[in-house]
Amino acid sequence: MTYSARFQIRTRGDTDVIDITDRVGRVLTESGIRQGILVVFVVGSTAGVTTTEAEPGLLNHDLKAFWERVAPQKEYYHHEQTWHDDNGHAHVRASALGPSLAIPVVDGRLTLGTWQQIVLLDFDTRPRQREIVVQIVGEAAG
């Protein structure tokens, strides 16, 4: 059994980190799937998905500071010559993080830890409306 849903998230860009756990959880509930694998996937090449503890220090400061350290915005990116834009760092960060996350579904619940939430990171240089695809494969019984 396969279940698919999409939802949209408005971001501020600039390595905005947004907790999407509730939205993903709602899709799982709607699906009726009790045992399986759930994939969270962000459409586009300047955003990524991972997990973290959703507390203000990490969400508003520390993850952004990490990505700025490893792929600084002010560095020269050849990408920006191609399009005459300013988001080379956003592409690089998104590729390094990855656009998707696979999570087990056991007894109708994601196997996340208590302080482990699903987050979208939008690295682009402007506010964006992001599309998240949630795909679940598994069984309703059990």
Q: Does residue 13 interact with a copy of itself by CB under 8 A?
A: no
Residues facing residue 129 across a β-bridge? 10
Q: Find the part of the chain contacting a copy of itself (CB under 8 A) among 7-15, 23-31, 90-98.
A: 90-98
Residues facing residue 49 across a β-bridge? 120
- Whether 117 and 17 have beta carbons less than 8 Å apart is answered as no
Task: Characterise 135 by phi-psi region: left (phi > 0), alpha (psi -120 to 50), beta (else).
Answer: beta
The site map against a copy of itself for 25-44 (x = CB under 8 A) is: ----------xxx-x-x-xx
Q: Which of 10, 26, 81, 127 binds a copy of itself (CB under 8 A)?
A: 81
Q: Find the part of the chain contacting a copy of itself (CB under 8 A) among 7-15, 20-28, 130-138.
A: 130-138
* Binding positions for a copy of itself, 100-129, rule CB under 8 A: 100-106, 111-113, 115-117, 119
Whole-angstrom distance, CA of residue 3 vs CA of residue 26: 12
